[in-house]
Amino acid sequence: MSADDTVAVTRKEWLLEVCGLSEETYRFAADPQLLLHILADLDQRIKHDRAVKLSVFFTGLSAFLHEPINLFQKGESGIGKSYNTVQTLKYFPAESLMLLGGLSPKALIHDCGVLLTEDGKPADALEPPEKPRKTDYASSEEYEEAKRLYKRQLKEYVDEMKKTYTLIRLAGKTLVFLEAPEYEAFRMLYPILSHDTERIEYRFVDKLAKGQLKTMRVVIEGWPATVFLTVDRKYMEELATRSFTVTPENSAAKIEAANQLTNLKASYPWLDVESDEARKIRAVLNAVRMWFAVAKADVVVPFEGLQEFFPCSIVRDMRDFQHFIQFLKTVTALHLFQRPVITIGDRRFVVATLGDVAFAVSVYTEVFETTRTGTERAVLDFYHNIVKHRDNWYLRDLTEEYNLQASKKLSSESIRVRLERLAQVGYVDVEKDADNKRNVYKPLVKEDDASKNPLKTLSWQELSLKLREGFKKWKSHLQKIQNLHLEKFFSALTAEAPQSYTLDTLEADVLDEKFFSILPLKLFGDAFKPETGSESEKKPEQNQKGSSCQFLSITPSEPQAEANKPSESSSSQSTLQEPEEKLATREKTVMLHRLPPSERRQCDGVDAGGANCMFEAQYRLTEENGAQYYFCSEHVKKVAKSYTENGYKINLEEKNI
């Protein structure tokens, strides 16, 4: 066997034995569109709720890193907290998940604990001595000697058992609290969940089967990731300040899409099977878990100055920035097989990239306010949509105004509870009316206040420039380290020897911005978009009514081209959404231009079933009336054909379309 063959075999064996990855799943793990594949698979089972499902997914992944994430979901009953969580965590190894109800201390110890001896060995190996029977001995002297030996051994056994302890090892686990844990159980877990200490010991009195009381020594070790689906206990609020907070959507579009999915599941239950993509995602996550466990590695964020884009006006901002860094590290960990790795001495670090920061910022932007206030989205929307638009409110007036606007009516008591929460987080001040002694509610947070989310107005150019400056400083520090080793996971399972990896190639990988051309803009949510009202933001409204009805392997029966023709069901005034007879009455010439690389737009096309296209536009179509639409290379062909069939002449800037 040649040296090159040895390299190839070693790579394949290493992937399979250490990470459990086949060649096919390794290519999947190394795909730059890995996140897009994950979201596409999640979208088959969870409609809307982008921020929630991504928060749950990366919380589960964070369990494999040194500092896992705590996630709180707040919202009304039935909004989808449990469903979203359970469906998203299906990708993770069953042994890493613990779904918990109303957890009691006894359940925590008996269900999660392992009894160990003083030196850390399983206590099952300790067996009590067998009591001698007189009939087994030839003489009374032998029997008496056996009894004395038995008593000595029994004493030693009892002494050893008194030194045993129950170890609850939580590192690498994701705890999902379907219900609030009992107070005593929560008190036991709190120092661990708040990351105050990695190991804590308790003395716990337990009742044995015969009614006897026994003092047990319990050790809780390791930091788990946690997802709380209820926070209806006051004693949990303190932990909520050390966590992300998200709220599932309650929009009509989500409810309609969810009902459609339920209908399809009932109509085609035999198609409700795990997809090939889901199996690959599970394999990738297990590989990430195994590699970090074996390598004892962490993630390094090579960007000085990143904190300058985050608020720093209240004490909570320190914790929230730590939460963001934790989240960013999980994004890097997911892309383990695409990222550089540095080794300093005996410590290894996976290096975060510009792309990781861009995606982490895009998700964090969506959960910024709910996390910073620890408050559910509905309460914050109530403030932004109603409360802040007047200087003073009485409870009765607020209740009337809310019920005028809302489809689901609320009582004045429910409105008062919301106002009480807003007062707790500093959004509302409560005063007594001097005349009638009624409460007067005054909004405190305006749009131009410092508490406004600074990430919403952050441009990519501004962030990229600062990160590049920060990386240069980090790199100059790295150049001074003597025992530094740089490497990157092999890009292919070939017999070629790995190329040398230098600081310059590391810089090129970390600062590469090609992810914006590889990944669709929608993957980044509302981040890095032009401000509302700017010229670049003026594009036709897209009809959300026909949201994707794809379910597992089901696709609508109409051909793809037909799905991109004008739809009579649309309420939009977009040409692409109007009936054909209206198209015929318009001007008969349209212009088609190829977009320059600097102009980033989202494709305005729709896929089969009515789902908005996920890819970036490459062409701009302009009608004579000035209306402009943007399309990717696939949709532009279908749209051009549709216009041509309806009597339009298309003036092309490029002929090779």
Q: pLDDT tens across 370-389, in order?
A: 888 888 888 888 888 888 88
**Looking at residues 496-515, what average pLDDT do you find?**
77
Q: Which domain holds residue 178?
A: 49-125+164-249
**Residues of the chain with pLDDT > 70: what percent?**
77
Is residue 438 domain-shared with residue 548, that is, in the same domain? no
C-alpha dist (Å) from residue 194 to 227, 248, 447, 589: 13, 24, 32, 64
Any domain includes 94: yes
For 255-263, what is the mean pLDDT?
A: 88
In a domain, 307, yes or no: no
Let me know whether 244 and 386 are in one domain: no
In a domain, 153, yes or no: no
Look at residue 352 in the predicted model and tell me its pLDDT.
93
Check which CATH number belongs to the domain holding 217 and give it. 3.40.50
Same-domain check for residues 563 and 434: no
- Average pLDDT on 15-24 reads 72
Does 6 score more than 50 pLDDT? no
Q: What is the CATH number of the domain that holds 389?
A: 1.10.10.10
Residue 510 to residue 503: CA distance in whole angstroms: 10
Mean pLDDT across 1-14: 46
The answer to whether the CB of 216 falls within 8 A of the CB of 202 is: no
Does residue 193 belong to any structural domain of this protein?
Answer: yes
- Would 299 be classed as within a structural domain? no
- Number of domains within the chain: 3
87 and 195 in a single domain? The answer is: yes
284 CB contacts (<8 Å, ≥6 apart)? 21, 25, 28, 29, 34, 334, 337
pTM for this prediction: 0.73
Mean pLDDT in residue range 53-60: 93
Res 523: pLDDT:
63
Give Cβ neighbours of residue 279 (< 8 Å, ≥ 6 apart). none
Contact predicate 109/204, CB 8 Å: yes
91 with 219, same domain: the answer is yes
- Is residue 475 included in any domain, yes or no? no
Q: What is the Cα–Cα distance from 306 to 392, expressed in whole angstroms?
A: 39
Asked whether residue 358 carries a pLDDT value surpassing 70, the answer given is yes
User: Does 80 reside within a domain?
Assistant: yes
Give 521 or 553, the one with higher predicted confidence.
521
HEC string for 117-157:
CCCCCEHHHCCCCCCCCHHHCCCHHHHHHHHHHHHHHHHHH
Helix (H) / strand (E) element for 275: namely none
Domain C-terminal end among 398, 426, 443: 443
Contact indicator for 338, 491 with CB cutoff of 8 Å: no
- The residue out of 198, 230, 249 marking a domain boundary is 249
Of the two residues 266 and 23, the one the predictor is more confident about is: 266
Highest mean pLDDT among 218-222, 232-236, 488-492, 576-580: 218-222
Q: Torsions phi, psi of 608, nearest 5?
A: -55, 130
CB 361 within 8 A of CB 515: no
CA dist list (Å): 637 to 567, 590, 594, 618: 18, 14, 13, 12
Regarding whether 97 and 207 lie in a shared domain, the answer is: yes
Same domain, 551 and 412: no
